[in-house]
Amino acid sequence: MIHQYRLNGYSIVLDVNSGAVHVVDEIVYDLLEKLVPPLQEECPEEAVRALEEKYKREDVLAAYEEIMELYQAELLFSADDYEQYAGMMVASPIKAMCLHVAHDCNLRCKYCFASTGDFGGGRKLLDAQTGKKAIDFLLKYSHGRKNIELDFFGGEPLMNFDVVKAVVEYARSKEEEYGKNFRFTITTNGILLDDEKISYINREMSNVVLSIDGRKEVNDLLRPAPNGKGSYDVIVPNYQRLVEKRLENEEDRWQYYVRGTFTKHNLDFAKDVMHLNELGFDQISIEPVVSEEYQEYAITEKDLPRIFEEYETLAKQMIERKKAGTGFNFFHFMIDLNQGPCAIKRLRGCGCGNEYVAVTPDGDVYPCHQFVGMEDWKMGSVHDLSVDLKKKDYFAKANVYTKEECKNCWAKFYCSGGCNANSYQYAGDIHKAHHISCELEKKRLECAIMIKAAMAGEE
Ligand code: SF4
Ligand code: SF4
Ligand code: SF4
């Protein structure tokens, strides 16, 4: 399978199974559109005839030779060697956890998937004892894994910072005995950041996710406090202080990002990305809101052309900045064309419900934070260190070859079958694709590959 497209003056051909990317000239591009594998030694006469008004016969034949060379080197229309791995998908150790330290929040974001922090189950905080049991749970189920990821999440985790510290201390106290290495992340809305918390976070957390949507008017429209006041003026200086201090530590150079959401209200979100960069941040992620269509901020099918245009604008601006030496990372345009993730990860993606789980303040275990509160998906408890192995296996086996739409999708090895939670909530089944998310994912990939093409030889 190949995927070919034109973007920003480049004619790009991705050979899906080998992962090879070719920037080709017009004639090769046009000829490829006429070819159906398996290719024969001779260029098909109907392809030559179809192009004879535009190109000379000998030029088409020369282009075919070029194509044949790539074909014989298995860099075009290459065979799918991955399907054999699909049957090997077995349950893995649990190596990552999203720990819900607080089902409470000091903001009232309008698009909050967590019902403004409480996940629909009442406002509550995790107690230290349950937090420690969550660590015990990880120690029990991460067998064979040295590195364990723990994300302190909410609601707003800074509302329960003492418990965060108690859990970190407990986990560290177990590292040597169990031969583990914990890597902590905290995801915060920034309201309660102060110098003491910043210094603790920069010392203990390998990664920090700072939520902000971009320009003041954009952020404040959908991320207000309970009294209706916007959050921008409080969080921006807090984030700037945190990042400035963090960058003093070279080792952690890349380990933070500012993360936002775009909605129907800011389809010109490239401006928000640029704004965040101008505020001094160079690790940026802005994601499309995923919600029911009736929400006034929802992204619908009709918005897709406008969003595609915006991704292209952003990609072009990023190339300019990179070339000028003032580049930044936009997470959705980051792609590794050389190595990529291992085969299993390419096929299965985020690992939710299998390698990764979420734990609530009550100690309940769910496949990931987006499943929290859906009683049917509860899959255990840290209190009795239990996990439903059938559910775990169900997630372990879900991969791009068990998802009908993904099997034949050119983006499958980068997208890895999309977000199971979104598929379940908005398409009704983790094995179904959520159309709008797919279209956006594919557009981002096209932009990411084009950026690589544009930067080839410059990085
Ligand atoms: S900060 Fe996060 S948890 Fe709190 S209301 Fe906003 S989106 Fe929801
Ligand atoms: S873009 Fe959609 S169809 Fe393609 S692999 Fe991802 S989830 Fe599957
Ligand atoms: S299912 Fe979706 S929300 Fe849950 S961890 Fe995976 S990508 Fe994230």
pLDDT in the model for residue 426: 83
Closest CA to 367 of 349, 347, 383: 349
* Closest ligand 3 atom, residue 368 Cα: 4
pLDDT in the model for residue 91: 73
Q: For ligand 3, is residue 425 a contact (CB within 6 Å)?
A: no
CA of 406 to the centre of ligand 2 (A): 5
Question: DSSP per residue over 45-95, as a string?
Answer: HHHHHHHTTTS-HHHHHHHHHHHHHHHHTT-SS----SHHHHTT-------
pLDDT in the model for residue 342: 60
Best of 400, 408, 410, 423 to mutate for ligand 2, by most ligand atoms within 8 A of CB?
A: 400
Ligand 2, atom 5, lies closest to the CA of 412
* Closest ligand 1 atom, residue 189 Cα: 1
CA of 433 to the centre of ligand 3 (A): 13
pLDDT in the model for residue 402: 83
pLDDT in the model for residue 116: 82
Closest CA to 398 of 376, 427, 367, 420: 420
Strands 380-381 and 386-387: antiparallel
pTM beyond 0.85: the answer is yes
How would you write the pLDDT of the chain (459 residues) with one tens digit per residue? 999 999 999 999 999 999 999 999 999 999 999 999 999 999 999 999 999 999 999 999 999 999 999 999 999 999 887 777 776 667 789 999 999 999 999 999 999 988 887 888 889 999 999 999 999 999 999 999 999 999 999 999 999 999 999 999 999 999 999 999 999 999 999 999 999 999 999 999 999 999 999 999 999 999 999 999 999 999 999 999 999 999 887 665 568 999 999 999 999 999 999 999 999 999 999 999 998 899 999 999 999 999 999 999 999 999 999 999 999 999 999 887 765 546 666 666 788 999 999 999 999 999 999 999 899 999 999 999 999 999 999 999 888 888 888 989 999 988 888 889 988 988 889 989 889 999 999 999 999 999 999 998 665
Give the ligand whose atoms come closest to the C-alpha of residue 149. Answer: 3
Give the ligand whose atoms come closest to the C-alpha of residue 154. Answer: 1
Within 6 Å (CB) of ligand 2, which residues are found?
400, 403, 405-406, 409, 411-412, 415, 417-418, 433, 438, 441-442
Residue 134 CA to residue 149 CA, distance in Å, equals 12
Give the ligand whose atoms come closest to the C-alpha of residue 151. Answer: 3
CA of 435 to the centre of ligand 2 (A): 8
CA of 410 to the centre of ligand 3 (A): 21
Q: For ligand 3, is residue 11 a contact (CB within 6 Å)?
A: no
Residue 196 CA to residue 239 CA, distance in Å, equals 14
pLDDT in the model for residue 305: 98
pLDDT in the model for residue 230: 96
Q: What share of the chain is helix, strand, coil (3-state, %, to 5)?
A: 45, 15, 40
Residue 131 CA to residue 164 CA, distance in Å, equals 8
What residues contact residue 376 under an 8 Å CB cut-off, 6+ apart? none
pLDDT in the model for residue 345: 61
Could you tell me if 300 and 308 are in contact, meaning their C-beta atoms sit under 8 angstroms apart?
no
Give the ligand whose atoms come closest to the C-alpha of residue 401. Answer: 2
Scored b (16 or more CB within 10 A) or e, 268-286 reads bbbbbbbbbbebebbbbbb
pLDDT in the model for residue 276: 98
Within 6 Å (CB) of ligand 1, which residues are found?
105, 107-109, 112, 114, 116-117, 154-156, 189, 211
Residue 87 CA to residue 273 CA, distance in Å, equals 41
What residues contact residue 400 under an 8 Å CB cut-off, 6+ apart? 86, 346, 347, 348, 406, 407, 409, 412, 413, 416, 417
Length of the chain: 459
